[in-house]
Structure 1
């Protein structure tokens, strides 16, 4: 940040696309924070001052106005959210003895980057003498202040947050991938605090992200919840992603802090859909048109498959040919089936020969090996056939029947799947449908360019092969599916 406020920057009320302010605000603790910041040479832009004012807004009894509903911020990348929130939190620690703060991100890498950034902040002249210690132990970092206040950093994927008590401030970074379980683990840590403050901040979630918690925070803000704050920066949904006016609309730090070069770099490297979410703050429209009902899918999760039956496998590759997925299905005489991912490997590291070797070894015990005629995986058909594998090649009509069959079996509780197989879970969450022909048939499609549905396609084709094939090889009483390592 520069040493002077840029007065030409917009106010928060002008910069935010959505702004929900809680009821009953009488005072704010930000005035004191700003005075301390001024003394040590840190000056906020006007929209940053607005965030600080709302973050520390209080009712007449001294409790934070958003203590019940929390504070949610949907802020684009390259806007300066870590500096803005981090500076406010550091100064709050300086001015409030024995304050306990936990700053948690989903990923270890993000947590480490935030810790590094905050270290640089507390080492600034005027702040360093108040820092008692900076500790890094087993992935749980801490900044300790001379007055007893502490900021602890950690990644939720490593279980950080459980077991703490009387936490005064919780910051959920990467809130777009904050799960209900992580929330349940961490929120109780603030129950014993006298005046807790809970902050969610992130970018709009992708279709494959577990974004329900952050989406619920947004829904409360859009509904004008009187006990919560919601701040959302974003461009128009129909904007031109290469238009600098859209960049300025979404990012109040553009162009005086976030340069055009930085925006162009993100546009080139993130891809269209990711850029719209992460750089322009554009939320996807409601995704009720997702193909597979999440509740039915969750109900079908079964850790152990039943013995017996027969196995079919199928191969699919995404259009970019980055990896290859082998889906598996175990079908039974009673008409039920169990699907899983048998293997998934990247092409760059493992090449394209491994699926042939994988399936040739298992072919004597398989009912079918399936590849769709429109899949890039058709390149594997000649070497498979040359090795003696009888490949079933599905048509558009077959694909329509296969997708319909999967949904019908889910509906009637005839289909089970192994739980928590991440590639399959992400594919299911990000799958919609595309029309096939004129008879009402459909195939799987994806909600965005950053969604890979090939694991779902492979599992669907494996189900098709298991159900339609009449081949019953071997006399083994049980055929074991190959699990994803």
Structure 2
């Protein structure tokens, strides 16, 4: 049997279904699709049946957890989800749908595809308006329903309310800030539905949200989450057409062999695995920092006699400021702790400049990573006479490596019972930096703030690399 005739359960490499589905709204959509000449393959019917699945109370079974779908390129996601949203608008008066992609180009392509539906002879009479203004693209229906399109990179989605459905396209580039901006728009909707569609993220993508959804689904930790993944088995022959078919349910009937072969010729092996075969990069989800080593390194108070360095970090959403401190001793051992950790919403950021400036005369180094939002403080610190060291990705790899090595060797200690720091350590994973084995810190789930860990890591790095020691007594030689 060809892929086009196979069921969702036969094709999906992972299918996690929410609890409590007793019926579904999809048959009404399917009936209208048939009238409009839209044909769904069995796997698409199965996916939409689950997406529109209802519990006894009439609410969507995945209404709380949402739908997350990890799909290869050229699988027909816009057709599947786009036509369903369009037809649902015809059936449900006053339905308001947001379709958002990370990039304008992707959003524009989806809007163009939807316009084709809107101009279809069987559907056009239901369409009231098509608004094409850049950044304000919209299809309006005579029954009051609307589909609005926009790019998250341009701030689309902020300030909306009463949204019934949100489709997050390019979910592998979905940031926590974008989610915070848009999800509350569904709070006043009677039965909201949130859909995330993406491909496996490439290194460097801000994919914490999408990764967390996948991790949660595979662990069976959210009974309200619908998760679907199409992917070839890891280690498959990249040139084998059966591998292509195992990953893409639309191949070869709807997605041609030429289309996949073009990607194979143009993309690297790693990119082809992600983009065409839906295979997620193998990641280390173990603790980045050994919990036993961290516990053993804890002390109730630091010993004096060392040279002090500081570092500042902020998370991507700029919600907090963390100042890490390191005291390094003559025997090359070191002590780290979280010196300050404050909410920017309550306390702003100016206090951090004052705090550091007051201590600069007795400080060996102040470090901020060049990619951190905390760089906003650099000019103000310099104006106060503070010499700031900016680190790059190479420095970060060295800093994290040194941190782990010293912790393992018993030459690094930390202050016990610092809750924010302990949470950051428990919630940290590793991310690769380059191809040489270097790594940096990453957060295990989207709601973890690892800035306290980054701050103490950079403070240790500064203490080990600086040549400044304001406490050192220097011998002055007077020339005759």
Q: TM-score if structure 2 supplies the norm length?
A: 0.65
Determine whether 1:335 maps to 2:364.
yes
**1:161-203 CA-partner distances (Å, limit 9, x unpaired):** 1111111011111111111111111111101000111111101
Q: 1:251 is matched with which residue: 248, 252, 257? A: 248
The equivalences for 1:199-238 within 5 A come to 199-224=195-220, 225-238=222-235
Deviation at 1:216, TM superposition (A): 1.8
Cα gap change, 1:143 to 1:264, in 2 (>3 Å): same
- Residue 30 of structure 2 is aligned to residue 25 of structure 1: no
Kindly indicate whether the alpha-carbon contact (under 8 Å) linking 1:179 and 1:211 is maintained by their aligned counterparts in 2: yes
Structure-2 change in CA distance of 1:14 and 1:402 (3 Å): closer
Residue 220 of structure 1, CA deviation: 2.8
Q: Residues 208 and 430 of structure 1 are in contact (CA less than 8 Å); yes or no, is this contact kept in structure 2?
A: no
Which position in structure 2 is the counterpart of 1:48?
44
Q: 1:301 aligns with which of 279, 302, 313?
A: 313
Which ranges of structure 1 fall in alignment gaps of 5 or more residues? 1-5, 294-298, 307-330, 343-365, 367-374, 376-397, 414-427, 436-442, 448-459, 471-485
* 1:38-437 to 2 correspondences below 5 Å: 38-224=34-220, 225-288=222-285, 300-301=312-313, 334-338=363-367, 404-405=401-402, 429-431=431-433, 434=436
1:333 offset after TM fit, Å? Answer: 7.9
Change beyond 3 A, Cα 1:401–1:94: closer
1:96-150 superposed Cα distances (whole Å, 9 cap, x missing partner): 1010000111111111111111111221221111111110234121010111100
Q: Report deviation, 1:270.
A: 2.4
Structure 2 unaligned regions, length at least 5: 291-310, 324-359, 372-386, 388-393, 415-429, 443-457, 469-480
Contact residue 64 and residue 195 of structure 1 kept, 8 A:
yes
Offset of 1:276 from its aligned partner? 0.9
**What do the CA deviations read for 1:411-444 (whole angstroms, capped 9, x no partner)?**
889xxxxxxxxxxxxxx95427746xxxxxxx56
User: Match for residue 10 of structure 1?
Assistant: 6
Aligned residues: CA RMSD: 4.4
What SS does the corresponding residue of 2:5 show, helix, strand or coil? Answer: coil
Distance 1:283 1:49 in 2: 25
Q: How far 1:406 moved relative to its partner?
A: 7.6
Contact kept in structure 1, 2:175 and 2:208, CA below 8 Å? yes
Work out the CA distance in 2 between the residues paired with 1:401 and 1:100: 50
- 1:320 corresponds to which residue? none
Residues 287 and 432 from structure 1, CA distance in 2 versus in 1: closer, same or farther, beyond 3 angstroms? Answer: farther
CA contact (8 A) 1:290 1:433 kept: no
**How far apart are residue 336 of structure 1 and its match?**
2.4
Task: Find the residue that maps to 1:137 and give its secondary structure.
Answer: coil
Instruction: Give distance in 1, aligned partners of 2:361 and 2:202.
Output: 36
Q: 8 Å contact 1:170–1:197 — kept in the other structure? A: yes
Partners of 1:8 and 1:160 in 2: CA distance: 35
Counting matched residue pairs gives 365
Q: 2:119, 2:284 → 1: CA distance?
A: 45
The 1:82–1:235 alpha-carbon spacing in structure 2 relative to 1, beyond 3 Å, is same
Aligned counterparts of 1:202 and 1:444: Cα–Cα separation in 2: 25
Cα contact 2:3–2:251 (8 A) shared by 1: no
The one-character-per-residue Cα deviations of 1:192-241 (angstroms, maximum 9, x if unpaired) are 00011111110112231121111222123213332121111000011111
Please state how far the C-alpha of 1:84 moved relative to its aligned partner.
0.5
Q: Indicate the SS of the match to 2:98.
A: strand
Note if contact 2:4-2:249 (Cα within 8 Å) is conserved in structure 1. Answer: no
